[in-house]
Amino acid sequence: MEPKYQFVADALRRDIATGLYNDGETLLTELELSSKYSVSRQTIRQAISLLEDDGLVIRRRGSGTYVTHGPRKHGGVLNVGVITSYITDYIFPSIVRGIESVLSGENCVMSLSATYNRTDRERALLTRMLETSVDGLIIEGTKTALPNPNIALYERLFERNIPVVFINGYYPQLKHNVHVVTDDEGGGALAAKVLLSRGFKRIGGIFKSDDMQGHLRYQGYAAALQAAGLPISDERVLWFSTENKQRFLCEETGSHFLHHLKENVDAIVCYNDDIALMLIEQLSQLKLSVPSDISLISFDNSAFAGICHPKLSTLAHPKDAFGQEAAEKLLRMISGSAEKSSCLPWELVMRE
């Protein structure tokens, strides 16, 4: 059975969340609450302590207990957390730079962390964020295409009215999921159409199975093929995940895919530049060359895409602008604005 102080705390929490107390209004006094809930004043104090720990209220002796749902709790400095899958790799430095360029101008401190796309690290980081009085979060969802064990932690964030902006991937099952994403479905379709317009008919794809970007890009790819009246063959599609990314091309399924590539496929939509590079590497071992034997198109336009050999044709991720958009949206949400999600378009960069 739930202890009384828990019950009272939850009731108060609910009242605060439903906006019963506007602005910096004061709570009922301890004595009033004591009689309202028919418990002793000590029990009420214990309940309010919980809210205080969560940063929901502050108590002022002689004055009252005030509801705080406003930012800037730490001497006028805003606390913002940023959680992405990686920090120093791939396109993430650019995204972070975009976020930082916005936040550093405001009176903000930013805390940056990486999940490495692991839910256990996501859990540790969310727990840590819940311990602190953070004013807002920018989060890249972890394995958004799989059931997520940390949904309850996200809900606790929302209970505390902490604004969260998701980037790249989000959790559709959440009530609040303001996000800034790229148009992955449209991008998948665009990539396929580019290859179709070059006259290719047998178009394969490599997609990521554990995040929503992979699913959506596949969806767009499949829709574009269907729209062109072409069949979708499972043999032309290869799926990989975070865990087997480094070696899926060498495992049996991947190896089979590679060895029958020439018979099945003329062109491939690659999940991202990283995968495209790995694929080129493997193809060269099979004496297949890009683009003469197989054509590729990929996503992200990472730093390597323009300097590797051959240079990759790729859909360019907005990167800096993407981070800025997310940061600006978060700042507006912290200021109380109700924000809609953004979906940024890809830009086609044709190379070899």
* Binding footprint of a second copy on the chain (CB under 8 A): 53, 74-75, 77, 79, 87-88, 93, 96-97, 100, 104, 109-116, 120-121, 123-125, 127-128, 131-133
- How many angstroms separate the CA atoms of 251 and 238, rounded? 12
Q: How far is the CB of 36 from DNA (least distance, A)?
A: 12
Q: What are the two backbone dihedrals, phi and then psi, of residue 232, each rounded to the nearest 5 degrees? A: -105, 115
CB nearer to a second copy: pick between 113 and 242: 113
**Neighbouring C-beta atoms of residue 245, cutoff 10 Å:** 16
Closer CB to a second copy, 122 or 185, in the complex = 122
List, in order, residues 6 or more apart from 234 with CB less than 8 Å away: none
d(CA 335, CA 314): 37
Query: Could you give the CA distance from residue 273 to residue 305 in angstroms, rounded to a whole number?
Result: 6
Question: CA–CA separation, 212 vs 145, rounded Å?
Answer: 5
User: What does the DSSP 8-state code read for residue 237?
Assistant: E
Q: Considering the rule CB under 7 A, would residue 29 count as an interface residue with DNA?
A: yes
50 contacts DNA (rule: CB under 7 A): no
**Prior bond of 310 cis (ω within 30°):** yes
127 binds, among a second copy, DNA, none (CB under 5 to 8 A by kind): a second copy
* Residue 40 vs 104, nearer CB to DNA: 40
Q: Quick check: 72 binds DNA (CB under 7 A)? A: no
Rounded CA gap, 272 and 252, in Å? 22
Query: Minimum distance from CB of 1 to DNA (Å)?
Result: 7
Shortest gap between Cβ of 26 and DNA (angstroms)? 7
**217 in Cβ contact with 184 (< 8 Å):** yes
Q: Of the candidates 18, 60, 285, 307, which one interacts with DNA according to CB under 7 A?
A: 60
Cβ closest to DNA, residue 4 vs residue 73 = 4
Residue 88 interacting partner from a second copy, DNA, none (CB closer than 5 to 8 Å by kind): a second copy
What residue 74 binds from a second copy, DNA, none (CB within 5 to 8 A, per partner kind)? a second copy
Residue 148 · residue 117 · CB < 8 Å: no
Q: Among residues 36, 41, 97, 256, which is the contact residue for DNA, using CB under 7 A?
A: 41
Residue number, 77 or 196, with CB nearest to a second copy: 77
Q: Is the distance from CB of 179 to CB of 170 less than 8 angstroms?
A: yes
Closest residue by Cα to residue 311 from 346, 269, 285, 276: 276
Residue 55 beta carbon to DNA: minimum distance, rounded to whole angstroms? 14
Which parts of 2-21 interact with DNA (CB under 7 A)? Answer: 3-6
Q: Dihedral sign for Cα 275, 277, 281, 287, please.
A: positive
Contact residue for DNA among 40, 255, 284, 337 (CB under 7 A): 40
Residue 46, binding choice from a second copy, DNA, none, Cβ under 5 to 8 Å by partner class: DNA
Pairing status of strand 64-67 against strand 57-60: antiparallel
Q: Is residue 346 at the binding interface for DNA, with CB under 7 A as the rule?
A: no
Q: Which of 18, 22, 61, 263 binds DNA (CB under 7 A)?
A: 61
**Residue count, binding to DNA (CB under 7 A):** 25
- The stretch near DNA (CB under 7 A) out of 26-34, 79-87, 300-308, 338-346 is 26-34
The nearest distance, CB 65 to DNA, in angstroms, is 4
Burial string for 138-162 (b: 16+ CB within 10 Å, else e) reads bbbbbbbbeebebeebbeebeebeb
Where on the chain is the footprint of DNA (CB under 7 A)?
A: 1, 3-6, 26-27, 29-31, 38-43, 45-46, 59-65
